[in-house]
Amino acid sequence: MNSVRARTVQLARFLAGVGVPWWHFTIPVVLTALAAAFEGISLSLLIPLARGVVAQNFTLVNEVPVLARAVALLPQLAQRPVLNTSGWLVAIIFLTAWLKIVFKYLSGLSVASISRRAVHTLRQIVFDRYLRFGKLYFDQSSIGYLNQVLMTYTFKVTEPISQAHLLLSTVCQLAVYLASMFSVSWQLTLFVLVVVPPLNYSLKWLLVRIRAASRTIADSLNEFSKQTFNILSSVPLVKSYTNEAVERQRFGYLSGEAARLEYGMARARQLILPLQESITLFTVLLVVASMAWLIARGHAAASASFLIYFYVLMNAANTYGSINRYRGVLAEVSGPLQEIRAMLSNEGKFIIPDGRRYFNGLRDAIVFDRLSFSYPGGRAALREVAFEVERGRVTALVGPTGAGKSTLVNLIMRFYDCAPGHLFIDGVDIREYTVRSLRQHVALVSQQAELFNDTIRNNIVYGLTRVPDDDLVAVLNRARLSEFVSQLPQGLKTAIGDRGVQLSGGERQRVAIARALLKGADILLLDEATSALDSKTERLIQEALDEVMRDKTALVIAHRLSTIKHADKIVVLDAGTVVEQGSFADLLSARGVFYELWQAQQFF
C-alpha cells in the first residue's frame, strides 16, 4: 500500500508540473460524495419501506431518524392508507436514487474532461520539446519511438486520473453498501466479505456505439499521426524556415480535434454504469411494487429485508472490482512516465543555445577559424578547419565521403552547436546571433529534398505567407518546373506522397530549389544537390541552381567536380581537415588531392 501511495503522489506531482494541479479534482470529488450520500439515503429508506409493505404497517418508518422527523411534522401522513403512504416513500426513494445516478454521471464526465485536457496539454508540451531539440538528437533517435512517446505514452500516463476517480467512487459506494448489508445481517455480510460474486457488465448496444465512435477517432488519429510524422521527419526544414510557431499551432489544432473526439467517446463510455444501475433500480422498484400488489391481496411474501440485501449485494459485487484495477493501471504507467520525463529533461537533447543579436544579412564573409568538431562518442569530424566564404561568391566544398563537408553546412545552419570563437559571420561569433534571424537569411537544398506529404504548391511556399501567384509562376520558370507542373491534371494541387515519393529524384530537387528561390535568402547552402542524377536531369538541376546562385553567397558541396568549374573558390577536405584551397585551374595544376579526385571521375 505504501508503494501505491508513493507512486500516486509521484504521479500527482508530475501532473501538477504539466498543468493538472490537484484542485482541478475538487468538482468530481464533491459530485462523487453527493452521489454516495444520495445512495445512502435511498438504501436507508428502501429497507423500512420493504418491511412496511410486508407488514402493511408504516410505523416502521420511525426507525429512520429522518423519516421519523418528517412524520412528526406531518402527522396526517401516518393516517393515510397504506398504499398512499408507500407511494410517497417510493417516490422519495426513486428521486434520491436517481439523483445519485445523475451526480455519479456528472462526476465521471468531469473527470473525463480533466483527463482529455491533460492528454492534450501533455502532448503539446512534448511536441514543443521536440521542436527545441537539436538535429543531433534526431540523428540518433527513431521517429517511431518519438511518435510512440507523443501519441501513446502521453495517453497512458493520464489513465490513472480516471482510475483514481473510479477508486474513490468505489470506496464511497462500498462503505454505503456494507453499512446497509450489516444492518440487515452481520453474519451473512461477514461471509460475503470472504466470497465476493464475480463482476458482470453487459450493455451491448452502447458498446456498439462506442466501437463506431472509436473508428471516427482512429481516422482522426491517422491524420494526426501523418502530420506529426511529416514534421518530425523534416525537423531541419521546419527549423531552417523558422516555422516552429506555425507547426505548434497546427499541431495544437489537430491534437485538440483528437481530444474532442476522444471526449465524445468517453461520454458514451461513462453512460454504461449509470444505465446499468438504472436498469437494476427500475427492476427492484417493479419487484417491490409487485410484492405490494400481492400482499394487498392477501398473498404471503418472502422476507423483504433479504430481497433488499441481495439487491445491495449485487451492486457491491459489481463495484468491488475497481479497487485492484487502480493498482494495475498505476503499475503500467511507470514505464511511460519514465520515458516522458526523459523527454522533459535537457540531457542529451543537443538544444542549440540562442543568441541575442539579430542577423540582418551577410555583409562581408563567413569565416571558419581553426574550427574543430566531434560527434557524441568522441568521433572527430573536423580538425582545425580554416577558410572563408566571401559575400556574393560561390565557394565549393569537395572531398571524399566522410570528410566533414555536410557537418560544416549543419554548423552554419545552427543544426549543430560549435565551440565559441571558431565560426564567425561578419566578424561576429555565430553563437551570438538569434537562431531564428540567422535561418531566415539562409536557404538549404540538400541531397535528399525535404518534402511533406502535401501538394506541390504547399511544399514550395512552405514557411511563407501570402505568396502572389506571379511570384510563384516566376519561381517555377526559374526552377525548370513549369513544363512538368503544366502536364499534371491537378497542377500545383497535386499531392506528392510521403517525402515526395510520387516524384522523381530530379523533380523533388527542383521543388526544393523552387522553395529556396521563393525564400529569397542571401546565403545559399547546396549539399550535393545534383548527386545520383542522370546527365539530362543533372543539366536541368544545374541550370536551376545557377538561377538560385545568381547574386547570392553560395557554399556548394559537390560530388561531381564538373559542376563546380566556375566556382570562385574550391576548398578540399580530407579526414576533416582542409588540405587544399584555390580555383579550379590552380588545384588541377597543383596535382594534389583535388587532381586525384578529378582523375577518378574522368569516366563521367
- DSSP per position, 542-592: HHHHHHHHTTSEEEEE-SSGGGGTT-SEEEEEETTEEEEEE-HHHHHHHTS
Most confidently predicted of 7-11, 29-33, 212-216:
29-33
Instruction: Specify the pLDDT at position 434.
Output: 96
The pLDDT-based confidence of 197 (bands split at 50, 70, 90) is very low
Q: Which CATH superfamily is 365-600 part of? A: P-loop containing nucleotide triphosphate hydrolases (3.40.50.300)
Instruction: Please state the rounded mean pLDDT for residues 131-151.
Output: 86
Q: What is the DSSP-derived secondary structure letter of residue 351?
A: P
Task: Give me the residue spans of the domains in the chain.
Answer: 2-202+275-344, 365-600
Give the residue carrying C-alpha cell 538528437.
137
325 φ/ψ sector (left φ>0, alpha ψ -120 to 50, else beta): alpha
Least confident of 91-100, 396-405, 512-521: 91-100
The C-alpha cell that represents 192 in the structure block: 460475503
Is the pLDDT score of 25 beyond 90?
no
Contact 522, 440 (CB under 8 A): no
Return the half-sphere exposure (C-beta side, CA atoms, 13 A cut-off) of residue 495.
4
Instruction: Specify the pLDDT at position 328.
Output: 54
Most confidently predicted of 37-46, 137-146, 181-190, 322-331:
137-146
Contact 259, 217 (CB under 8 A): no
The C-alpha cell that represents 541 in the structure block: 538541376
- Rounded CA-CA distance 100/41 in Å is 9
The C-alpha cell that represents 468 in the structure block: 502572389
Instruction: Specify the pLDDT at position 390.
Output: 94
The pLDDT-based confidence of 299 (bands split at 50, 70, 90) is very low
User: Which amino acid, 426?
Assistant: D
Instruction: Specify the pLDDT at position 436.
Output: 94
Is the pLDDT score of 66 beyond 70?
no
Contact 572, 578 (CB under 8 A): yes
Instruction: Specify the pLDDT at position 219.
Output: 59
The pLDDT-based confidence of 449 (bands split at 50, 70, 90) is confident
Sign, CA dihedral 543-544-546-551, equals positive
- Rounded CA-CA distance 119/161 in Å is 11
Least confident of 231-240, 487-496, 555-564: 231-240
Instruction: Please state the rounded mean pLDDT for residues 368-384.
Output: 90
Instruction: Please state the rounded mean pLDDT for residues 120-137.
Output: 92
Most confidently predicted of 20-24, 36-40, 69-73, 436-440:
436-440
Instruction: Specify the pLDDT at position 145.
Output: 79
pLDDT in tens, 482-500: 888 999 889 899 998 888 8
Q: Domain 2-202+275-344, what fold?
A: ABC transporter transmembrane region fold (1.20.1560)
Instruction: Specify the pLDDT at position 448.
Output: 84
| Greater pLDDT, 85 or 335 | 335
The pLDDT-based confidence of 431 (bands split at 50, 70, 90) is very high
The pLDDT-based confidence of 544 (bands split at 50, 70, 90) is confident
Is the pLDDT score of 286 beyond 70?
no
The pLDDT-based confidence of 287 (bands split at 50, 70, 90) is very low
Least confident of 27-31, 127-131, 308-312, 409-413: 308-312
420 φ/ψ sector (left φ>0, alpha ψ -120 to 50, else beta): beta
Please report, rounded to a whole number, the percentage of residues in the chain having pLDDT higher than 90.
24
Phi and psi torsions of 370, nearest 5°: 50, 50
Is the pLDDT score of 401 beyond 70?
yes
The pTM (predicted TM-score) of the whole model is: 0.76
| Greater pLDDT, 38 or 262 | 38
Instruction: Specify the pLDDT at position 83.
Output: 44
Is the pLDDT score of 356 beyond 90?
yes
Least confident of 20-24, 402-406, 524-528, 555-559: 20-24
Instruction: Specify the pLDDT at position 227.
Output: 75
Q: Across all residues in the chain, what is the average pLDDT? A: 78
pLDDT in tens, 198-232: 444 445 555 555 545 655 665 566 567 667 777 77
Is the pLDDT score of 34 beyond 70?
yes
Instruction: Specify the pLDDT at position 277.
Output: 62
Is the pLDDT score of 167 beyond 60?
yes
Q: Who's near 495: CB < 8 A, 6+ residues apart?
A: 453, 454, 455, 502
